Amino acid sequence: MKVTVARKAHFNSAHRLHNPAWSAEKNLEIFGKCNNPNYHGHNYDLTVKVTGEIDPETGYVMDVKILNDLIKNEIEARFDHKNLNLDTVEFKNLNPTAENIVVVIWNILRPLINNQLELKVILYETERNFVEFAG
């Protein structure tokens, strides 16, 4: 009898989509205006879901305050008001597409959450584009 608990958060970052193995022309062709050399940015909206049994003593699957602190300390502190390409180790050599960002966030959070809980991460890059990853 598994219940899912979810918490939303957000961070505001600059990024640029770029593959250094390609020519400038190919980068522009594939990534279009997202390849702008001087970066652009987004308000990223993040939802983190954990799924598991309800603890009968607390009535919680996981204390959402603890989940929220994890997101603040591990994700917001790392990416908020940062340039993903220049200011983070995670995207020094990894193209910061929404797909890659959502996998990176899942990989950061997975070892920090009880492994009896399933983990899913949803990331909105804009109100109209979003990605999901569940491992």
Query: Is position 24 an interface residue for its own copies (rule: CB under 8 A)?
Result: no
How far is Cα 105 from Cα 123, in angstroms, rounded to an integer?
A: 9
Least separation in angstroms between residue 62's CB and its own copies is 9
- Choose between 14 and 108: whose C-beta lies nearer to its own copies: 14
Residue 113 corresponds to which tokens in the numbers above? 């959450």
Query: Is position 38 an interface residue for its own copies (rule: CB under 8 A)?
Result: yes
- Choose between 105 and 112: whose C-beta lies nearer to its own copies: 105
Subset of residues 59 to 98 that bind its own copies, contact rule: CB under 8 A: 59-61, 63-65, 80-83, 86-87, 94-98
Per residue, the 3-state secondary structure of 34-101, as one string, reads HHCCCCEEEEEEEEEEEEECCCCCCCCCCCHHHHHHHHHHHHHHHHCCEEHHHHCCCCCCCCCCHHHH
Q: Are 54 and 61 contacting, i.e. CB atoms less than 8 angstroms apart?
A: yes
Q: Is residue 30 helix, strand or coil?
A: helix
- Interface residue list for its own copies (CB under 8 A): 1, 3-10, 12-15, 17, 19, 21, 30, 32-34, 36, 38-43, 49, 54, 57-61, 63-65, 80-83, 86-87, 94-100, 102-103, 126-133, 135
